[in-house]
Structure 1
């Protein structure tokens, strides 16, 4: 590991309810987390205005139906001081595509060839109309493998110490421009957002990312703190497990979707607005109208499905109660707040709901032991609508927690592979959402607003529209 210069400033103290699960960039969602922590970068990224822009790459050019040439920016170095080359990045990408199924969502398995130090030839398995968007997807962090699941990265910070599920200590990457403006960082994971807010109030943090909405009014009265809110590209949604016995009937899923009162859910978390579909409303491919709530229609659908009300007003059929299990996770405190509200809403149509808050939500969702999973997902991380739909709702996709399988839906998604015109891609996204509204493998609930708390030295920090870039190269300028 490279030795960074000594900085006079005290370490920047950052808190969040999430932390990378490890330092292997090819595993799970580590690529996203390592980028969020300021350790890694992508070839292309989405900037603060939601625009897709080059990062480690300079440009991408199509050279054939399945081939592209990507030109890298010259003069960049990894944190160990070695030069960033096409060959080094190719090895990293090959490792990711071999070990992370989420990377396959858009173009299938990609092949890489370094034609010179700054030129990377990419061959896709499936047609990709616009490859910069693919290389902005969260699994495709850029790195050079260093053996044993380790890697070297190019971001403004490098790892000095990592304690699994607890903290990561960062030092400025001495080979990234402006290193002398950045101090070290102590990045702590908190088990819940309430504890994190107390640490912020106690002066233990300079930046608390993802504060719970219920503490905001109190925190705003503290003269030593600055609280900022910002809309995000994330959506709060409910995956409905289509393979569970009680949710295999589409009428039951449609009834649940109509029972969700999204205005009430948004009010419960003190921010955001009712979802119009799979995307935040500022995207041009978002739905135009909030998803409806209609308890009478929901009740009629349950009646049609054979679920009649018993003497207590709850639904039953053939002696079996309509009782479901809903799960969520503490890393997104808004979802925990929403859970009892969802339970009350479903009770209005006679559906009983058991609830669980689970630390390792990805494992639980993958195992499928749930009916409803309240989830937070950035649905357009590259500024394009296709990745979320392909990675989380296409038949057989690795992150398809709803176990949704529809040939008609897949056929809609297939159109993304050959359509490069943005306006026509927006139409495909709208068609895909219409099919999801009909089949209801997921209910889209709230387009949220998030909160960040800042100490006086960081009062000028500007959060971007997600948690993909919490620690950025400009953090020193904010301080």
Structure 2
């Protein structure tokens, strides 16, 4: 069973053998810039699985393609054989970068490492067990019922690999392999000679920029062939450069604010509701020069997205704060029992739009009488997990597998490993439990809408903007087509004239 959406979703190119006419310099090194690179080479740690796939190094059993369709990648098919049992038939023509075939036994060892090391992998099906039945049949037993195993194996923690010879290393099957890894700086990539079309594929130097403006300057100076995630304020200037091509595209990512429900002031749902109403989403979208007010947890082109844009209402926000006992003083800020309503908002430089939004949000909350301190942190996941924040501005692809369940299970279910809000609601959990009972697309839409309505009521998270992103290209890369997120920046067609 598959879901089909608009063609601006993330995906994976599966090599077809159709290679465009190549320029003379087709296999000369390409220079890419981004505000993120993988934090390490162990695919089971943190979000490394997502980053390694984005870099063209790793693949999944199933993936969402450029047309938004859930398709087999390393797998050939999946068949349910019991309430919790599945048989996955692997393709027999795929190889790891060391030349060995992608077998069930090799993938079993990789997945077992992931499920032992990464809590996010457990979000949909719980603890999975694996067995190899011959070279190309992988038996999977889930802890919880999973109606759509294809969507589960398209989730970002479940990158496919076999463990390497040294602890914390791995061998992958994607179109590129790591030639050199410089932590927090760059990844040097060479074509995987065992992936179709390798002879026509260029090596790539992927450089991390801590400052998106610096990346824009490097593109302008001719130092980059591709700059992914340009700051919106630089776009007009770059578009005037005849040697550059700037492309914009809607993304499956959403910008939102996690509210830490364990912080004293934010334990009160009325205060969280007031914060949500104090946000002016039109103003936020204008500040980042693109996008629209969020309708909820998902990009508006998904069938399970809420239909009405989230709107602010400053008068209602102030009334809620008044009723909660937070009185506005002569300085314009609120106090209760002598304590000022002062919050800490954090965000991270890898998403420059969020940095741009931070002072706007500070001004919006000030209108409601809420004082806001702001902080930019380099490792947002680590800081958020530590709990020292009230508001965390966040960017997340909320349907990377083309299905609504993973985001809700991994980031908002009670006790979930990525639940930075500390939100715990038996009512919300009961709603998303229904995902395990049906694979019917229409019913899964209803579940997702019910879950969003519960979040609108409880406000552990405030959904802000559905953004538009920008990519800058040199003449050599002007044919590059972004696919709706950063899940597959480097793909099999890079270096093949596309």
Contact 2:26-2:497 at 8 Å conserved across structures: no
Matches within 5 A, 1:19-34: 19-34=37-52
Contact 1:74-1:118 at 8 Å conserved across structures: yes
Matched, 1:83 2:66: no
Query: Could you give the per-residue CA deviations for residues 263-291 of structure 1, whole angstroms, max 9, x where no partner exists?
Result: 11000000000000000000000010001
Give the secondary-structure state (helix, strand or coil) at the position aligned to 2:105.
helix
Give the secondary-structure state (helix, strand or coil) at the position aligned to 1:159.
strand
Matches within 5 A, 1:56-455: 56-146=74-164, 147-455=166-474
Supply the distance in 1 between the matched residues of 2:43 and 2:325 (Cα, whole angstroms): 49
Contact 1:43-1:136 at 8 Å conserved across structures: yes
Contact 1:241-1:401 at 8 Å conserved across structures: yes
Question: How far 1:180 moved relative to its partner?
Answer: 1.0
Supply the distance in 2 between the matched residues of 1:406 and 1:160 (Cα, whole angstroms): 46
Question: How far 1:478 moved relative to its partner?
Answer: 3.1
Supply the distance in 2 between the matched residues of 1:140 and 1:289 (Cα, whole angstroms): 33
Supply the distance in 1 between the matched residues of 2:252 and 2:52 (Cα, whole angstroms): 19
Question: How far 1:10 moved relative to its partner?
Answer: 2.1
Matched, 1:462 2:481: yes
Matched, 1:40 2:62: no
Question: How far 1:477 moved relative to its partner?
Answer: 2.4
Query: Could you give the per-residue CA deviations for residues 148-188 of structure 1, whole angstroms, max 9, x where no partner exists?
Result: 11110000000000010000100000000000111111000
User: Greater shift after overlay, 459-468 or 469-478?
Assistant: 469-478
Question: How far 1:313 moved relative to its partner?
Answer: 1.8
Give the secondary-structure state (helix, strand or coil) at the position aligned to 1:276.
coil
Supply the distance in 2 between the matched residues of 1:311 and 1:457 (Cα, whole angstroms): 60
| Residue number in structure 2 paired with 1:476 | 495
| Residue number in structure 2 paired with 1:4 | none
Supply the distance in 2 between the matched residues of 1:237 and 1:225 (Cα, whole angstroms): 31
Question: How far 1:292 moved relative to its partner?
Answer: 1.6
Question: How far 1:9 moved relative to its partner?
Answer: 3.0
Supply the distance in 2 between the matched residues of 1:50 and 1:366 (Cα, whole angstroms): 32
Contact 1:15-1:187 at 8 Å conserved across structures: yes
Provide TM-score, normalisation by structure 2: 0.94
Give the secondary-structure state (helix, strand or coil) at the position aligned to 1:376.
strand
Contact 1:459-1:478 at 8 Å conserved across structures: no
Question: How far 1:312 moved relative to its partner?
Answer: 1.5
Provide runs of 4+ in structure 1 moved above 6 Å. none
Give the secondary-structure state (helix, strand or coil) at the position aligned to 1:116.
coil
Supply the distance in 2 between the matched residues of 1:316 and 1:8 (Cα, whole angstroms): 64
Supply the distance in 2 between the matched residues of 1:181 and 1:373 (Cα, whole angstroms): 43
Supply the distance in 2 between the matched residues of 1:240 and 1:121 (Cα, whole angstroms): 40
Give the secondary-structure state (helix, strand or coil) at the position aligned to 1:476.
coil
Q: Aligned pairs, how many?
A: 473
Give the secondary-structure state (helix, strand or coil) at the position aligned to 1:478.
coil
CA root-mean-square deviation: 0.8
Question: How far 1:321 moved relative to its partner?
Answer: 0.5
Supply the distance in 2 between the matched residues of 1:107 and 1:461 (Cα, whole angstroms): 36
Question: How far 1:8 moved relative to its partner?
Answer: 7.5
Provide TM-score, normalisation by structure 1: 0.98
Contact 2:26-2:201 at 8 Å conserved across structures: no
Supply the distance in 2 between the matched residues of 1:77 and 1:207 (Cα, whole angstroms): 28
Question: How far 1:51 moved relative to its partner?
Answer: 1.3
Contact 2:26-2:495 at 8 Å conserved across structures: no
Question: How far 1:76 moved relative to its partner?
Answer: 0.7
| Residue number in structure 2 paired with 1:3 | none
Contact 1:58-1:71 at 8 Å conserved across structures: yes
In structure 2, list runs of 5 or more residues that go unmatched.
Answer: 1-24
Supply the distance in 1 between the matched residues of 2:357 and 2:26 (Cα, whole angstroms): 44
